[in-house]
Amino acid sequence: MLLQTLNRFLLLSLWLVLFTPTIFAQSIPYDWDALQKLKPGTKLTIKTKTRQKLNGKFKAVTADVLTVADSKVADKEVEIKRAEIAEIRRKSGKLVATYAAVFGGLGFAGGYGFGYFLAEAHHSRYHVEYGTALMGASIGAALGGAFAGSRGEVIYKSP
């Protein structure tokens, strides 16, 4: 029985290692025209080629300039030339929820497998896997939400 449990755990681990990178892979757009689709007021993080970071809300975009309202100073608009921008990220609650759900699911599976393995190894009468699964899901969701919230979705990257 212990050997079957270990085989299942190893199979699950192998599956996660092989398929997790494809779940989180995203194509990075280099199309400046994609910024035209943003709604005014969208929260952005802009990194310049000089490694400066600016947080603000989207106002407008032209062929050469991005205009954002600076989040640090009220009623101040900043114009950034396209040639100076290295990367633009959009802050999104949808992205945070997605990462939290995926990491929570991975944590649940890992916690359940770990708890089941412990119970079988010690011939326990109790179902410890339920508690460890809940703990794993909680930790995974918290880490996933924190990871996505700090980064945001890349919507433009200079070539």
* pLDDT band per the 50, 70, 90 thresholds, residue 50: very high
* Structure-block tokens of residue 155: 């919507």
Tokens encoding 38? 């943003």
In this structure, are residues 85 and 51 in contact, taking their beta carbons and an 8 Å threshold? no
- Model confidence at 88: pLDDT above 70: yes
More confident residue, 92 or 56: 56
123: left (phi over 0), alpha (psi -120 to 50) or beta: left
User: What is the model's pLDDT at position 66?
Assistant: 93
Q: Are 115 and 128 in contact (CB under 8 A)?
A: yes
Q: Using CA atoms in the order 61, 40, 151, 27, what is the torsion angle rounded to 10 degrees? A: -60
137 burial class (0-12, 13-18, 19+ CB within 10 angstroms)?
A: buried
When pLDDT is averaged across residues 133-155 and rounded to a whole number, the result is 83
pLDDT > 90: percent of the chain: 23
| C-alpha distances out from residue 33 to 42, 148, 157, Å | 16, 25, 12
pTM above 0.85, yes or no: no
Six token digits for residue 60: 């407008």
Q: What is the pLDDT of residues 9-44, one digit of tens each?
A: 656 665 555 555 445 545 556 678 888 888 998 889
